[in-house]
Amino acid sequence: MLSPDVNFFCRIAGAWMNNRSDPKFTRAMLVLLPLTTEFDQRGGDVEALLLRHKIPLSALTTPTMLVDASACYAAMEDMAETLGDVHFGAKVATEAANKGAPAIWKAAKNAVTLGDFLARIVVEIATQVDNVRYLFSASAEAASFEVQRTLRVSGPTTQLDAIGVVFYVSLIKRGLGNAFDPKRMIVTAPTNAGFPPGFLPKSSFIKSNINGLRISFPPQWLWEPFSLGWDVIETPRGEFARDADDGATVAYFRSLLVENIGAEDMSLNRFAEICGTHPRQMQRILSAQGVTYSQMKDQARRHLAVELVANTSTPIAQIALRVGLSGPSSLTRAFRQWTGKTPTHFRAKATRDHDT
């Protein structure tokens, strides 16, 4: 039997989360933005894609906007088909698992063991997504993490299934390190057609008409130490020692800020938390280098915005969101201050310069 503490923990963590709105709708920004960003970088036409599925372009820049969930799922399949890459969703999911996913930063940061991490995910993601339910349970025989869709999708779910399975299995593998053994894991999903070759042993996959996915593994894994090692959540790595070079530390701050500038309203206190230091210590280090946090944030936003406008075809609305601004008009105002040009004019000039 499991210890009393773990039994209590599993009863709390395994509670089903109640939906807060119509499960037929979902937040397109949360569901589609990583995919459309990669789709655009690979030459896809995001605006045409969204038009085909009657999804407003503004849905990618408005966190609270709800759109038809089936349309989002169909758009996932469309992107993979357009690119001729059945593993498209899995590749995006793998990158998210390895680089960091904003939706679960808090769960990843505060977790100590795998069981702790999965329990926190159940609670954290359920506050963000309405059309899926999460269950984490454990017995003496097996532990299980399940994602159940509340909407039955009529079309293919190859990308949807691959994204879910690859993302969560990759997180577990990364977090457990050497303790992970794919042969001791069972994944249940409608299809494995979108899984990368060799992602799991054939014996580890069960095809079922389950409306979602289930990942089962030995209950002993719940006690295993768990760390994803994402830069955004890792503890100080020496940058903040008393004898550390302030210039190198500020460079470290800048790199993390560029990565996270669009994740949320990045206040000084929140960013200090991400960096693993105290806000006052951060202010002291920045002051010694003659810069304020507000200035550093503006510089990071400018650097990233100019890079994306000049060297990618990412829609202006998506760039605004990526750099932490409310929309295209906000980016245009900021861009005029930075460069004296609108993003559109700046991109046109950059394109001409590249061609000559």
pLDDT by position in tens, the chain (length 356): 343 344 433 433 333 333 344 557 777 767 788 898 889 889 999 999 999 999 988 787 666 677 888 899 999 999 999 999 999 999 999 998 888 777 777 778 878 899 999 988 887 776 666 677 888 888 889 999 999 888 887 778 899 999 999 999 999 999 999 999 999 999 999 999 999 999 999 999 999 999 999 999 999 999 999 998 885 433 343 344 444 445 667 777 887 787 777 765 678 887 877 776 777 888 888 888 888 888 888 888 888 888 888 888 888 888 888 888 888 888 999 999 888 999 999 898 888 776 66
* Amino acid (1-letter code) at residue 107: A
pLDDT at 64: 64
Cα dihedral 82→27→214→149 (10° resolution): -100
Compute the distance between CA of residue 313 and CA of residue 77 in angstroms, rounded to an integer. Answer: 22
Q: State residue 239's pLDDT score.
A: 40
C-alpha–C-alpha distance, residues 189 and 212, integer Å? 6
pLDDT of residue 53: 93
Predicted local confidence at residue 128, as pLDDT: 63
Under 8 Å CB-to-CB from 147, ≥6 apart: which residues?
132, 133, 134, 164, 168, 212, 213, 214
pLDDT score of 90 = 96
Are the C-beta atoms of residues 68 and 25 closer than 8 Å to each other? yes
Question: What pLDDT sits at residue 136?
Answer: 86
CA distance 170 to 152: 26
Q: What is the pTM of this model?
A: 0.62
Question: Rounded to 5 degrees, what are φ and ψ at 249?
Answer: -65, -45
Residue 155: how many other CB atoms lie within 10 Å: 10
State how far the Cα of 179 lies from the Cα of 174, in Å rounded to an integer: 10
CB-count burial class (<10 Å; 0-12, 13-18, 19+) for 201: exposed
Specify the pLDDT at position 101: 75
